[in-house]
Structure 1
C-alpha cells in the first residue's frame, strides 16, 4: 500500500467497500491458509465460504496459546504467513489485564495510512491547520524483548520508534528526541516548554486520550513558574538530565525571552480561574485532538472548561488489533462522533448485540450491517488474528458512500455488579452525565472518576471516587464540599441507573445506598503513575472506569477527603 494519500482515496475506498473487503479476505487467506492455526479448519484451502463456515469466532484467550508460542520462539507461521516483527501490548486499563497482539509492517502501514487520512480531513475542516503546528503530547515506553528476540511494546511506542513515524511528526512542536524520552516527567516538561516557546504557531492541542491531557494541565499548574523561569533565562532546568531532551529543547528555547515569560506569568498567576487556559496560552488553537467517545466522554466538561469549548476532535478508531476507521466529520459534536470503517485495513465482520449483552450468533459482513443495530466487530488480519472478537459494542449510525459508519457505545462487558444487576459502561456514563449537572450548580468540575463494587459489607453497594476542582480559585487548594449537593449527586446517580438496579435498591434490599468518596486533587495523577509503573503506556492510558486492583484501590483510599451516601431509594 502506498503511504501517501489524498481524499480521493477515501472516496474510492468507501464507494467500493464490498469488493475491497472481498479482495482483502482473499489475500489474507492465501497468505495464511497453511499456517498451523488456519490449517486446522481449512486444510490449506483459501476458499472464502469455507472460511466463514469452518473458522470459529474466537476471543483473545482462545488464540493466546498460539501467540505465546510465537513469542517464546516458535516460527511465525504458526499463526501468520507474514513474518511477525513485533508484539503490541495493550494498556490493560480497560480489561484489567495486559494482552499482547502479533503485528507486522502491514499493521504499521495501516495505522499510518489511517492517521494520514484523518489529518487530511482535519485540514479540510479546520482553517489554518496545515499552516500551523500541533502540540500533541506523545510518549514512548521502554521496549521489552520476548524470548524469541522480537520487541514487545504498546502499539504507539512501536509506531513512534518505527521508520514510519517521521511523516506524522513533521508539524509537531516537539522534536522527535523528546518523544523518545523514557522518563515521562522530563518528556511532559520539555513538550510543554517547546509548546510555550512556539505558542503563536500552535493550531491544535491534544493527546491520545483526554485523561492524559488533563493530567498534563495539572502538571502545568504545578510547574508553570519553573517553565516561565526557563523561558526568562533561556536555560533549561538542571533536573532535565536526558541529554537528547536537553539538547533539542535548548535549541528551541533559544535566547532569554522576558516578554513571553511575563505573558505566561500573567496568564497563570493573574487570574482567579484556569478556565480557558489552553486558549489563553495558545491563542491560535482551533481544536483539541483527543478521543472523547465511550468512557472518555466523562472528561468533556473538564476539557470544555480548560479550552473555552474548542471543538473536540476524535480522529481515529484504532486498537492493538487493527486500525478500524476514521471520523470523516471531525468537527461533529462529541455525542455525534461516528467512525467510517476503512475496508482496506482488515477484514471486518460483525455479531449483532442485544441491549442485555446477548447476541444472535449471526455474523454480518461490513456492508450488510443494519442501520440502528448494535454490533461487536470481529477482526481478520495479516498478523494472525482470524474472526477475533474485539470486545467493543458499536451502533450503526449511517453510511459514507457505500461504507457504514459506527458510533462507539461501550466495551462489551458488565463492569459493575454487587448482586444480580449487570451495570455496563454505558449505564455508568449516562448516570455520570446527569449527575454532573448537580456539580455545576456548585461551580465544581469533575477532573477524575472511577468506581468499584464494595461487597465487603452486606448489602454490597457502589462506590464512586471523584476528584473535583473549584472553577474559581479561592486562594487555597481547599474544596468547599456541600453535603446537600453531594448527597443529591448520589441520588441522581441512582435514579439514572438501570431499572433492575433501582428495583434491587429498595429499602432493606440486596443493594445498599450508593456512595461517593471525594479524593484529594492529584489522586488520579498518582493512579496513572501506578498503572504506568506496571507497564501501561502513558500515551494509551485510560483511567479505568471500574477498579479491580487492590493496590490501585489503596491509592484511592489513602486520598479520601469525605464520603457521602444517597439518602433515599431511587424511584422505580
Structure 2
C-alpha cells in the first residue's frame, strides 16, 4: 500500500501523514489482507493456512518465530530454490542484518517493490523536516554515506546490508534532485568500496563546499564520529589537497578520484589556511559550526546503543541540534520522528501503518516475557500478541512484523515503549535490543556470545597458574574508535604472582577471535571498533561491585554479577581497583563470506 505524493508539496504531504495516522487500524488490516492475498499460496504460509486467506486464521495458525525458525527457508532461496517458498514476488536480493546467527550475519529477503517502499519512506521525511527547519532548499547536505562488503550466494543473489542495497540501486543513483537529495558527496565517492578512500574523498568534497552545507550527518552516530576523528587525524593532508587542487596519490579508485577532482576544481589557498587555523587550535569543541558555519543540525541516529555517543556529538557540534529522523532495520522500515527537534532522550517514532503489518508482545520493564520467548515459550505467549492500535501508553513491547517480502510474525528483537499517540497511531521509544549487552557500531554482542568468547580465552591462563574468577564488560566510547572493555578478576593458584603481559594480550586476541563476523569486520576492515581491552582488577573487586549494587537497591539474595555494566558509578567501582591494562596486539581474522 503505497501512496504517491510530491514530497515538495508540503500541504499534500502533511495531509498524507494525517491520513496514515488517523486510519492506522484500518490501513493495518488492509496491509495484512494484501499480504495474505499475495502470499497465502507460498510454501511457508500454505503449511499453516492451507490456502485460507482469513486474517483471524492467520493469527490463530501462523506462529510467532525468530530467525532460527525462518532461516532454513531463506537458506533454500540463497541456495537456488524458487522465491515462492516464502514470497509470490521474486526475491531480488538478500539483506544482511547486523544481528548474527551462528557467527554469521542474518540474511533477510527483499523484492524490487520494496525499494519503492523505502523511497516512499525517505520522501516522507522531507515535509516533516520542513515544518521545523526553514531554508533547506538553499544549500546541500554533507552526509557521509558508505557501502559495506557483499556476500555472493550460490543462487547468484547478492547479500548485502540494507543501506548498501539502497545506495547501489537505481532509486538512489537516479533519484530526482530535491532539497533532501543534494549531497556534497558525489555518488562515486559514496559507492567506493574502500572505506578509507571513500571517507577521505567525501570529507574533502564537504570541505570544499563548506559554505553550501546546511546539515551534516550519517546514518549512525558512530559513523559520523568516525569521520570527524579521521578529519581530526588527517586535516593537514586534506588542507594540502585543497591548497594544491590535487587529490592524494593513495586515492587509487579511478571513479572516486575523478569525481573529487571535478569538485576540487582548482587550488584554494585561502580555504586551506582558514581550515588550518581552526583545526590547529587546542580544542576541537564546536568544530562543526566553525568549519561548516551554516549548519542547522546534525542528522544521525542517537537512539538505542548510539545514545552513548551523544556527549561527543555535543562536544563537536557546539550546540547544534541532534536529530534522529527514522527507525528501520534490514527486515523493513518502521517509523519516523514527527518531532525531530526534540531532545535525544525524548525521541519517539510513529510507526507508519502501510510499511508492514505490526504486532506487539507485551513485556514488563525488565523485559522478562521477551526473555521467556527466547527460552521457547512461544505457544503460551502467542495469544498475548496485540495489534498496533491496541498497545497501551507507558507499556513495553517486543516488535513483531509481517512484511510484503516473506517474513511472517517475525520477532525483530527490538524492545519499544509506548510514549504517546499521533491520532490513532502509537509513538514508540526504542528501549534496547533483546539480549544485546555490547555494541559500538553495527556490532551486537549478546551475553551468550561474550560468555563463549571469554570461556575460550580463559583457557590460556591455566598453564600459567591463574584462573579467571569473575568478569564483566562495558562499551568504552569516550574516545574514538570505541572499544570493548572487559574487567577480569584473576586469581593465582599459588602465591600472588602477577599475570603475564603476553598471556593477557593473547587472551584479548582470543576473545576477539571468538566474537561474530560483524564485530570482526568492524575491527579488521572498517576500523570502527578499536582493540579489545582487558583490565585486570584486584581480588575482591567484584565483592565491592556487589556491595555497591546492593546499596543501590539490588536484592542481596537475587544478585548476580552483571555481564555488562552501563552506569558510570558502577564502572568507577571497578576502575579504582584496576592493576593492569592489556590490549589486543592485532585485529582478528575476517574475510567476506562467499
Question: Per the alignment, do residues 389 and 538 of structure 1 end up closer, same or farther by CA in structure 2, a change over 3 Å counting?
Answer: farther
Q: Is residue 23 from structure 1 mapped to residue 23 from structure 2 by the alignment?
A: no
1:126-178 per-position Cα deviation (integer Å, ceiling 9, x unaligned): 12223221111111134333211112111111111111112487310011111
1:213 corresponds in structure 2 to 224
Where in structure 2 are the equivalents of 1:49-128 lying within 5 Å?
A: 49-92=56-99, 97-128=104-135
TM-superposition CA deviations, 1:292-316 (whole Å, max 9, x none): 0111111000100010121111111
CA contact (8 A) 1:211 1:296 kept: yes
Q: Give the superposition deviation at 1:50.
A: 0.5
> Helix, strand or coil: the match of 1:27?
helix
How many Å separate the matches in 1 of 2:26 and 2:295?
41
Q: Are residue 233 (structure 1) and residue 209 (structure 2) matched? A: no
How many residues are matched? 479
Checking the alignment, whether the CA contact within 8 Å between 1:290 and 1:314 is kept in structure 2 is yes
Q: Tell me the equivalent position of 2:568.
A: none
CA offsets per residue over residues 155-202 of structure 1, 9 Å max, x none? 111111111112487310011111110000000000000000010111
Query: What is the CA distance between 1:344 and its match in structure 2?
Result: 0.5
Stretches of structure 2 that go unaligned for 5 or more consecutive residues are 8-12, 370-380, 439-443, 459-466, 481-485, 490-507, 554-594
Q: What is the DSSP-based 3-state SS (H/G/I as helix, E as strand, rest coil) of the residue aligned with 1:207?
A: strand
> Is 1:405 matched up with 2:419?
no
Does the alignment pair 1:316 with 2:292? no
Aligned in 2, Cα 1:129/1:319: closer, same or farther, shift over 3 Å? same
Cα distance in 2, alignment partners of residues 263 and 96 from structure 1 = 47
Task: Return the alpha-carbon distance in structure 2 between the equivalents of residues 294 and 540 of structure 1.
Answer: 21
Q: TM-score, normalised by structure 1?
A: 0.77
Contact preservation (8 Å) 2:435, 2:446: no
What is residue 8 of structure 1 aligned with on the other side? Answer: 15
Which of 371, 377, 397 is the equivalent residue of 2:393?
371
- Shifted more, 338-347 versus 112-121: the winner is 112-121
CA RMSD across the alignment: 3.4
Show the counterpart of 2:357. 347
* Corresponding residue SS for 2:131: helix
Q: Provide the TM-score with structure 2 as the length reference.
A: 0.74
Shift of 1:111: 1.7
Task: Rate the CA distance shift 1:210–1:451 in 2: closer, same or farther, 3 A.
Answer: farther
> What is the rounded CA distance, in whole Å, between the counterparts of 1:331 and 1:541 in structure 2?
31
CA distance in 2, matches of 1:451, 1:36: 38
1:335 paired with 2:345, answer yes
Q: What is the alpha-carbon distance in structure 2 between the residues aligned to residue 197 and residue 154 of structure 1? A: 30
Give me the whole-angstrom Cα distance separating, in 2, the residues matched to 1:31 and 1:93.
29
CA distance in 2, matches of 1:45, 1:310: 54
Q: Give 1:109 shift.
A: 1.7
Mapped partners of 2:521, 2:54: distance in 1: 41
The whole-number CA distance in structure 1 between the counterparts of 2:101 and 2:395 is 24
* 1:450-474 CA distance string (max 9 Å, x none): 999967445413133635459xxxx
Unaligned runs of 5+ in 1: 417-423, 428-449, 471-489, 494-504, 506-522, 544-551
